[in-house]
Amino acid sequence: MSDKTIKIRVTRFRPEEEDEPTEQVYDVPYQDDWVVLDALNYIKDQVDGTLSYRWSCRMGVCGSCGMMINGAPKLTCATFLKDYYPKEIVIQPLANFPIIRDLVVDVDDFMAKLKAVKPWIIREEQKPVEEGEYLQSPQELKDYKQFSQCINCLLCYSACPVYGLEDVFIGPAALALAHRYNMDSRDEGYAQRTVIAASSEGIWECTFIGECSVVCPKHVDPAAAIQRTKVETTNNWYKSFLMPWGDK
């Protein structure tokens, strides 16, 4: 290990001791292939065990380690120190969420919204398992595949000014997931899901800023999902009174 170091400025919030967050600066050894998470682990293991943050898989698939790094929402396990060195790195909890402790935010709001959009296959009748799988062509799979890649890291909620200003907004990830199920050829739940998704707190809160898609580490493109849902629900609305005999 060389003796290069880098400064890490971390938000601290100890609700038992203080009413507002403060900051603390640590000197961390710099290594070329270290990610920001490695720096946080170094601090916790060797310097200050009282620093609390979430992490798990360290390979960008569990979605635990989202934080603001120099003002931008990122996964700390996928952000390299070398992209900032020798400048200081500022780590803050994910924006637009209440802070529980240090870098840990309250995501209960998202969990409730996730459930509200009914992200499961809704069918009038399920085929018995003995009869085998529902056939789904590779093209039908492709139609929703991209939107199924969401790791629920919530960077998109941090990036969305609408969610920041009005937290009734159901939000990019939940709406993208609703779209994923709507587009799944096996699903029949469009009507049920649309009640929530196309409500005033759903897609119509979105003003297509598009920042959610910019920060998404999995290229889900929730902004596209929301706009497509807008197009579809609008078309269906016209169809419903222009062609009331139609289905769905």
Partner 1 sequence: MNQPHNEYQYDTYKPKMSPTWWLKSRRYFMFMMRELSSVFVAGFVLLLLYQIFLLTKGPEVYASFQRSLMTPKFIAFYSVAFVFSVYHTFTWLGVVGRIQIVRIGSYTMPPKIMTASTFVGFFFVSAVIGYIFLR
Partner 2 sequence: MNVPEHDIVIVGGGGAGLRAAIAAVQADENISVGLVSKVYPMRSHTVSAEGGAAGVVRDDKDDSLDLHAFDTIKGSDFLADQDVVEAFVKEARDELIQLEHWGCPWSRDEDGRISVRAFGGMSTERTLYAADKTGFHMLHALFQTSLQFDRIKRYDEWYVTKLLLDDNGAACGVAAINVRSGVLHAIPAKAVIVCTGGGGRIFPFTTNAAIKTGDGMSMAYRAGCPLKDMEFVQYHPTGLPGTGILMTEASRGEGGYLINNKGDRYLSEYLPGKMELGPRDMVSRAFVHEEKAGNVFEGPYGTYVHLDLRHLGENKIDEKIPFVRELTKNYVGIDPVYEPVPVRPVVHYMMGGIHTDINGATPIPGLYSAGETACATINGANRLGSNSLSELLVFGARSGHHAVQYANETKMPPYSSLEHMVVDEEQRIENQLLKNNGTERIADIRSDLHKTMDQGAGIYREEESLKATCAEILKLKGRYKRVKVEDTSSVFNTDLTAALELGSLLDVAETVANSALLRKESRGSHSRSDYEERDDKNFLKHSLAYHNEGGDPRIDYLDVVITKWEPNERKY
The CA distance from 72 to 91, in Å, is 9
Select 49 or 71, whichever has its Cβ closest to partner 1: 71
Residues with Cβ < 8 Å from 76, sequence gap 6 or more? 35, 36, 37, 40, 53, 55, 65, 66, 67, 69, 91
Q: How many residues bind partner 2 (CB under 8 A)?
A: 61
Q: In the structure encoding, which two tokens stand for residue 232, read together?
A: 């579809």
Q: Which residue in the set 30, 67, 101, 170 belongs to the binding site for partner 2 (CB under 8 A)?
A: 101
The pairing of beta strand 72-75 with beta strand 104-105 = unpaired
Under the criterion CB under 8 A, does residue 61 sit at the interface with partner 1?
A: no
Question: Closest Cα partner for 151 from 77, 89, 206, 202?
Answer: 77
Q: Which residue in the set 98, 145, 191, 237 belongs to the binding site for partner 1 (CB under 8 A)?
A: 98
E strand intervals along the chain: 5-12, 22-29, 66-69, 72-75, 89-92, 99-101, 104-105
The CA distance from 241 to 152, in Å, is 37
Select 140 or 232, whichever has its Cβ closest to partner 2: 140
- Quote the least distance from Cβ 174 to partner 1, whole Å: 17
Q: Which residue in the set 7, 9, 12, 21 belongs to the binding site for partner 1 (CB under 8 A)?
A: 21
Q: Provide the mask over 169-198, with x wherever binding to partner 2 is found by CB under 8 A and - wherever it is not.
A: --------x---x--x-xx-----------
Binding footprint of partner 2 on the chain (CB under 8 A): 14-17, 33, 44-46, 48-50, 52-64, 78, 100-102, 104, 107, 111, 114-115, 118-121, 126-127, 129-130, 132-138, 140-141, 144-145, 148-149, 151-152, 177, 181, 184, 186-187
